[in-house]
Amino acid sequence: MSEPAVLDVKDVSIRYGRRAVLDSVSFSVSKGSVYAMLGRNGAGKSSLVRALLGVQRPEKGRITTFGLSAWDDRVAVMARIGFVPEEADVEKQMSVGQLIDFQRAIYSRWDESVINRRLERLAIGRRRSFKTLSKGESRQVLFTLALATQPDLLILDDPTLGLDAVSRKEFYDEFLGELAERRTTTFITTHDLSGVEGIADRIGILGDGRLLLDEELESVKGRFRKIRRVAGAAPASGNLLHATRWGEWVEEVVDDFDSGQTDHAEATPMSLEEIFLAMVGQEEKR
C-alpha cells in the first residue's frame, strides 16, 4: 500500500462575492516530494495558501494535512508546518535575534543548531535589525526560521519574489542543499519558473481559479513540443495549443506529442516556462 498524502486538497472552492478565486481544485502532495503550484497574479495561489494554513475556510471541499483537517485541527497541523511567506510581517524595530526568540517560544520541536549553522554561513548577526536586511537576506532568515521548526511540511509562498538573479540562485542553492539533507515534503507557489524547474517533482498550474494541470514534471515535459514545419506540410499529431506563421514556416505548440509522426518537421523540447505560457495563453482565449 502506498503512503497517504501529506497534503490532500479535495474539491476546494473559495469565493469573494460572486467571483470564484478557486473552483473545485483537487490535488495531493506525497511524502518527500516537491510540488510547485504555478499561476499568474490573481490565479488563486494566495487564497490557496491561506486555506492550506487554516486561516481561510473554503466555501466547499476539504483540506487534510497529515490526515487532519487544516481548519478544524489548525493548531496541531501548524506545529508540523514550516512556512515562508511572500512578505514578512515583522515589526520594523525587531532584531533577527528577537524574531528567533519569538519563534522559539511557539514551536516545541525547535532546533537551535539550525539557526546557529545557517546564520553563521549567511554571515547574518542576531543583533541586525530585520529592516536593514536585503530582500535576499530577509528571505534566507525566514527560510532558516522555517527549517528550525523541524517541519514535516514546508510551505513556501513565492519565496523568490522581488529578488535579483543572484539572490534567487542563492536561495535555490540553499534550498537544494537543505532538501538533500532532509528530504522534507515541500509545497511552493512561485512565478520563478526557471528556478523551480530544477527542484519540482510535480507541478500544478492554476488559471482563473481552476487547476489546468496536475502532473509529474518529467511527464509534462515529455509530452509538450514546439514544432517547426513548412507551411502546407501535414501538421504534427497531438493536441494543437496554438500556431504562428513565419513566412514559409509554421511554428506550433502541441500537447500529447507523438515522436513517430514528425515527417518534414523539427520538434524541440519546451522549458517549463514555455509550457506555462502556452497553457495560460490558451486558457485566456477561452
Q: Cell triple for residue 206? A: 492554476
- pLDDT tens per residue, the chain (286 residues)? 467 799 999 999 999 888 889 999 999 999 999 999 999 888 889 999 999 999 999 999 999 999 999 999 999 999 999 999 988 888 878 999 999 999 999 999 999 999 999 999 999 999 999 999 999 999 999 999 999 999 999 999 999 888 888 988 889 888 888 887 888 999 999 888 888 888 899 999 998 889 999 999 999 988 888 888 877 777 666 777 777 887 788 888 888 776 665 555 788 888 999 889 888 875 554 4
> In angstroms, what CA-CA distances link 204 with 13, 264, 275?
16, 33, 12
Q: Is 222 helix (H, G, I), strand (E, B) or coil?
A: helix
Q: Cell triple for residue 181? A: 539533507
Contact of 47 with 104, CB cutoff 8 Å: no
Q: Which residues pair with 268 in a beta bridge?
A: 226
Contact of 179 with 32, CB cutoff 8 Å: no
Is domain 7-217 annotated with CATH 3.30.110.70? no
Chain centroid, CA 148 distance in Å: 21
Q: Is 16 helix (H, G, I), strand (E, B) or coil?
A: strand
> In angstroms, what CA-CA distances link 134 with 128, 129, 168?
11, 11, 12
pLDDT number for residue 237: 67
pLDDT number for residue 87: 81
- Whose cell is 490532500? That residue is 8
Is residue 70 classed exposed, middle or buried when 0-12, 13-18 and 19+ CB atoms within 10 A define those classes?
Answer: buried
Q: Cell triple for residue 210? A: 481552476
pLDDT number for residue 43: 85
Domain with CATH 3.40.50.300 in the chain: 7-217
Complete DSSP assignment for 198-246: TT-SEEEEEETTEEEEEEEHHHHHHH-EEEEEETTSPPPSSEEEEEEEE
pLDDT number for residue 286: 47
Q: Cell triple for residue 169? A: 540562485
Among residues 152, 200, 193, which one has the least CA distance to residue 175?
200
CB hemisphere CA count around 196 (13 angstroms): 31
pLDDT number for residue 262: 55
